[in-house]
Structure 1
């Protein structure tokens, strides 16, 4: 997890700004339903060939991610892997060995650290068409 070092009031302001930015980005896919009920929008998929097989990174904007408990975020990322990322990958004929689901409070370029944006990552190995959480 990358976590900004600032107060809760500033985070609320950022989440509000991120929600506005989310609504203003027409090229984002439709919002994803997640168990926490937070607004989540799919941004992109990044594919990477690894020795153990294809790694797919599914990136989402989730303006409220930093305000949620770890348990709720974990539930949301597992849901996104099972209900969006894996079906999308299999439907595109790209069976992955692993999927990494990332949630960011606001748009951030891939691989870029932004001290003002909390980012969370969870990795899943794919077995028998299921997402299985992996510690990394």
Structure 2
């Protein structure tokens, strides 16, 4: 192996280490975004599950039912409005997370392709 090939191999190996480091960062970011997405989805599902409490309250006592019903009607519109805003906000956050995850996955795929290509080139240079 010539000195020139040895220098090229050394540079390629340094590039590979750098790309592997970047790939690790991307993989960690993808993992964190996945956890954030999962958490947001859970909050949205919980809100969906509790929405029926506003629509169908449990009114137990005949004596207080009229007052509770009146209070409930007053608050229902506000709660439903807040619920719709919450669901829309969470939906937007999930959408943005999904977009970022696609971008990071593409970036990671590019790093893996470059790493593989550089490793193949190193193997070829070692043979010559």
TM-score range, shorter chain: under 0.3
Larger radius of gyration: 2
**Relative to total residues, which structure has the larger helix share, 1 or 2?**
2
- Bigger relative contact order, structure 1 or 2 (CA pairs below 8 A, ≥6 apart): 2
TM-score when scaled to structure 2? 0.23
TM-score when scaled to structure 1? 0.22
**Relative to total residues, which structure has the larger strand share, 1 or 2?**
1
